[in-house]
Structure 1
Amino acid sequence: MGRDGGAERSGQPQWTRVRSTEQQRLRRPLMDASTESPWLTVREVAQHYRVSTRTITRWVATGEIRSTRIGPGRLVRIHRTELETEQQQYLSAAS
């Protein structure tokens, strides 16, 4: 018998199923305004627009999305209102 109570197969390793970070990310809500900060990471904005983080970084560099740098490092945060502003501009251009 193995540690988990099941029969142990001789000569075969015991494998444990581990969720990938992608699977874990998909299980939590994307953006819940009531519990999260108004400042979003590049990754969160990329998930919102369904583009790569590199695309968001490019948009920040060209000024398509306003952002704030935090500290002396490379930390970039985008305010949630920027997403709402972009959405309003898109909707007004479509009509």
Structure 2
Amino acid sequence: MSVSSSRLVSLQDAAEHYSVSTKTIRRWIAAGRIEGYRVGPRLLRVRMDSLDSASRKLATA
């Protein structure tokens, strides 16, 4: 695991990186697809390597 991929990023940064909404990132956390980390009483962060492992390539026809 590289240092850059193991860093914690905001939901907004993660959403922009994967071209999805922050609501989708929150849904993925709630579904257990990725791990969310609470930093302080309100702030959520996700690990980029967690997002990388959750995304998968779709087969083409």
Higher relative contact order (CA 8 A, sep 6+): 2
Write 1 or 2 for the structure with the bigger share of strand: 2
RMSD (Å), alpha carbons: 2.0
Q: TM-score, normalised by structure 1?
A: 0.49
Structure 1 residue ranges without an equivalent (≥5): 1-32
Of structures 1 and 2, the larger Rg is shown by 1
Q: TM-score, normalised by structure 2?
A: 0.70
Identical-residue share of aligned pairs (%): 38
Which aligned runs of 4 or more in structure 1 are off by greater than 4 angstroms? none
Structure 2 residue ranges without an equivalent (≥5): none
Deviations 1:57-77 (A, max 9, x none): 111112111111112x22111
Deviations 1:41-89 (A, max 9, x none): 0001111111111111111112111111112x221111121122224xx
Equivalent of 1:84, from 52, 55, 59? 52
Paired residues in the alignment total 55
